Amino acid sequence: MVTSTEGIKDARKKKAAVVSDNGLCSEIGRNTLIRGGNAVDSAIATTFCVGALNIHSSGLGGGFMMTMYNKKYRKCSTIDARETAPLATNEKTFASRPQDAFIGYKSIATPGEVHGLWTAFKRYGSGRIAWQDLIMPTVNHLKTGYPVTKLMEVNLNYTKNDILNEPTLRNFLINNNTNDIYKEGEIFRNPVLAETLRKLATSTDPVRLFYGGEMAQQIASEIFSNEGFLTKRDFEHYRSIIDERPVENDKFSDSLVMCGPKPPSGFAVVQFIVDVMSKLYPKGSVDGDTLITDEEFYHRLAEAQKYGYAQRTLLADLRFQPNASEVLSKLTSESFVNEVVEKIKSSEKVRDLSDYGIQLEQPGKQGTSHISVIDTEGNSVSLTSTINNVFGSRRRSELLGIIWNDQMDDFSIPGVKNFFGFEPSKTNYIAPGKRPMSSISPVVIYDKKTGEVKPMIEALKSRGHNMTVYSFPFATIQAIVRNADGSLSASTDHRRPVYMNPAGY
């Protein structure tokens, strides 16, 4: 297991590598590659592990988005396993009690993780690794116990009051030996979740089990008895979405291509901001050491983000808001990028909000995790999984050991201002079966000529990885910009804490 920056430097000599925010999980992903699995197999195994060991950030009760890159065909594909609004909800559901969208059983949206991972396995897996072999290593950790990480301790402290006031969490997250929440290094076990994962691992059809069988009925009954909105019908109707024609941008660099999911992912905004910054700072136009300390650079980056996020308020689940496709086209058009570049150049002062368009960016969420994988064939996966806020809805299934998401909080509510005091975005109102907008931006960047995923490899050489580590894409944008301009190496923002644990071979 590699757990230090010094260890990351050694990863550049490896044939393949896995990066997650849990060292044990990175090892599981690496071992999957060693046994002949591809990047998708490894990402699946790592995702199951991170969701089980870092229960504050992701898991079976949440969802994910993933971007896959096939080097042989130089092709990107995506899977949207984002959570969906229960069929019993609509735009007025939380109008009188908006706090119910943030915490409690009413805040739970239909989870997509199991469906999405099974879809990835059947469609893109190598076929050389059995499904159960991707899950059982995690089951063993849950049974025998594993040390609590610093990241988990930080999040336990952050939510301590909610944990103490919620029986399904208090009885689970309090160490009986100390009568306090678990601390870094203490051994944590989760036998109930281990059994749930074992059943999924040994099932010939885990999607049917989770979304239409025994588990679906258990989940629906448990949530209904606690006045939540999810029913078995919601699980039966859930589908993850494969997209063989995701968003791609080859204009931001002479030699690189950047790809990622369509909305409700935030990638459309990310690629737009990167495109703007790459035109403001063409390759070789400025020394890297100068740029990293240049106040104008950060001012311009902030301005580019404002223009991008103004358009984000008009984006939504494309199946429910067809007009959002026009906004997507605008964000990927060279003419709009050039227009914004000229506006930023012509005025180096902070503009009024009306100059950018409506800006309704929601507060950052921390219940999110990211995984990056490169296999020996040069294929790559960038996957961001989430239960939304830390410990999601702050509710846990005592039958299955699953901590549920609070993804309903990612929708806009009519008449309710967001964290920053702005009015809600109409395109992001709740509708039955709809996916909420997200800042999730799993990015893959590859070289046009060689097909190599060069920026991701450079990231493994330096600080962990250059994809979304945080709940909002600022670190993602800054990392990509620093590569695209040819001046700075890929890394997460050097001023932010990094909890990444790579493993390679």
Question: Which residues are marked as active site?
Answer: 368
Residues 413 and 360: their CA atoms lie apart, in Å, by 12
Where does 363-410 show beta strands of DSSP type E? 367-374, 380-388
Q: Cβ atoms within 10 A of the Cβ of 35, count?
A: 14
User: What size, in residues, is the chain?
Assistant: 505
The 3-state DSSP class for residue 47 equals: helix
> Residue 185: how many CA atoms within 13 Å on its side-chain side?
0
Tokens (6 digits) for 286 = 């400025």
Q: How far is CA 440 from the centre of its chain?
A: 5
Residues 383-399 as b or e (16 or more Cβ within 10 Å = b): bbbbbbbbbbbbbbbee
> Sign of the C-alpha dihedral, residues 140, 145, 147, 153?
positive
Phi/psi for 202 (5° steps) reads -95, 0
Q: 196 burial class (0-12, 13-18, 19+ CB within 10 angstroms)?
A: buried
> Which residues, 6+ apart, have CB-to-CB distance to 273 below 8 Å?
301, 304, 305, 307, 308, 477, 481
| Distance, CA of 129 to CA of 36 (rounded, Å) | 7
Beta-carbon count within 10 A of 343 CB: 15
